[in-house]
């Protein structure tokens, strides 16, 4: 693949990741008001997010593994189609069970988009380029999550259903664009590897992940996803309940932090990786995320809340590409499997975190943030201890 074509492919993959995360972000400022139409609150929100993550958990390993066998393109396109249809279904829902069905299908679609995209980037980049490639994907994720709430808050002024229709149409359009432009990558075939045997089921794949050299990194993915999900899944409800924020105000809080994080990520993340190494970036930002999560309980005033939320989002923006890059470097020829496991462990954290946070929020508003901070500190301790004992070289830049 030529350098020019490689750049085109990475742009298309970034667009797809942006659309996926944008569709997820769209619901954040709208969902408190939207759920009022169904007479439900924080607990249902937590379980809706958990249902999305549960589908990702089930299907991400399948998507990653199958994309190793049959190529990335088919699954990216199929995922976008399912994702688009599910978003439209969410906007058409008339019963709570339809909301749950829609979020499950959205998670299924995202599962068939994200691991193949991460594996695709690993396929077409050298180890030296991979940090930059994963950083660009991370920027697309953050930008989508940033733009999504802003777009959702704006489109909700038409009506509360419209943001979901718009998200679905954009995802279906991206599927068409990917079908036309993306070349199909079959890594096993092009590397001359022998045909793969029968695909393991999810339980066997999870068991297999325990023996990989990057297993502790997968545990880090789970724990920091759990902690971060507590913040992200309850922030909109927290701001609505405590300060009576409107969808537009919630969108501003989330969008500003995402925007600053994306700008920093695009321009300095590769430099940070090269100067300090990915592991140091992970450790420092786990501490920063834990501190800002606790601060959210005590701050008042729109601009102070905006500042703390922005600092939290900057920290999480730096953690994700650092972890993704390290896992990819350890994965060797099994990029699809590694990306699938990465997404599965992330989804498991995203599934348990919001479900628990939603129940805690209905009990006491500060409790999800306290629990999330504790989980992030535990994640720091795990990562630091493993690095000191098993991989001290990760504390130094290459």
List the chain pLDDT tens, one digit each, 398 residues: 677 888 889 999 999 999 988 887 787 778 778 888 888 766 787 778 778 878 888 888 888 878 888 888 999 999 999 999 999 999 999 899 999 999 999 999 999 998 899 888 888 888 777 777 877 887 787 677 667 777 887 888 888 889 899 999 999 999 999 999 998 876 644 444 434 445 566 778 888 888 888 888 898 888 877 877 777 667 877 888 888 887 778 778 877 877 787 778 777 877 888 888 888 999 999 999 999 999 999 998 999 999 999 999 888 878 888 888 888 888 877 777 887 788 788 878 877 877 787 778 778 888 889 988 998 898 899 889 988 887 787 766 65
Note the pTM of the prediction, 2 decimals.
Answer: 0.70
Domains defined along the chain, listed by start: 1-183 (1.20.1250.20), 202-397 (1.20.1250.20)
Using CA atoms, how far apart are residues 60 and 47, in angstroms rounded to an integer? 19
Look at the alpha carbons of 185, 191, 194, 197 in this order and tell me if their dihedral is positive or negative: negative
């Amino acid at each position: 693949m030529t350098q020019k074509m490689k750049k085109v492919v990475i742009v298309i993959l970034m667009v797809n990741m942006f659309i996926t995360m944008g569709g997820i972000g769209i619901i954040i400022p709208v969902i408190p008001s939207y759920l009022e139409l169904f007479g439900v609150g924080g607990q249902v929100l937590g379980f809706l997010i958990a249902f999305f993550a549960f589908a990702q958990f089930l299907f991400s390993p399948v998507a990653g593994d199958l994309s190793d066998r049959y190529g990335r393109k088919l699954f990216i396109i199929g995922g976008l189609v399912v994702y688009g249809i599910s978003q439209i279904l969410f906007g058409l829902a008339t019963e709570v069970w339809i909301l749950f069905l829609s979020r499950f299908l959205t998670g299924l679609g995202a599962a068939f988009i994200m691991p193949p995209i991460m594996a695709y980037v690993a396929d077409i980049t050298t180890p030296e380029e991979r940090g930059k490639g994963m950083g660009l994907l991370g920027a697309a994720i953050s930008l989508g999550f940033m733009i999504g709430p802003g777009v959702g808050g704006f489109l909700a002024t038409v009506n509360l259903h419209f943001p979901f229709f718009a998200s679905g149409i954009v995802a279906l359009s991206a599927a068409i664009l990917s079908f036309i432009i993306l070349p199909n990558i079959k890594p096993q075939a092009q590397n001359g590897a022998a045909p793969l045997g029968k695909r393991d089921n999810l339980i066997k794949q999870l068991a297999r992940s325990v023996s990989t050299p990057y297993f502790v990194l997968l545990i880090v993915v789970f724990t920091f996803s759990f902690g971060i999900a507590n913040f992200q899944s309850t922030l909109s409800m927290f701001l609505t309940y405590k300060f009576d924020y409107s969808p537009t105000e919630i969108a501003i809080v989330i969008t500003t932090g995402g925007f600053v994080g994306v700008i920093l990520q695009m321009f300095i993340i590769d430099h940070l990786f090269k100067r300090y190494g990915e592991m140091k970036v992970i450790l420092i930002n786990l501490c920063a995320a834990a501190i800002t999560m606790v601060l959210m309980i005590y701050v008042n005033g729109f601009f102070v809340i905006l500042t703390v939320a922005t600092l939290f989002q900057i920290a999480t923006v730096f953690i994700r590409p650092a972890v993704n890059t390290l896992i990819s470097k350890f994965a060797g020829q099994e990029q699809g499997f590694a990306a699938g496991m990465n997404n599965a462990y992330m989804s498991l954290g995203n599934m348990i975190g919001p479900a628990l946070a939603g129940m805690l929020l209905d009990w006491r508003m500060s409790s999800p943030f306290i629990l999330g901070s504790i989980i992030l500190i535990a994640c720091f301790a795990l990562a630091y201890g493993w690095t000191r004992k098993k991989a001290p070289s990760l504390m130094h830049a290459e």
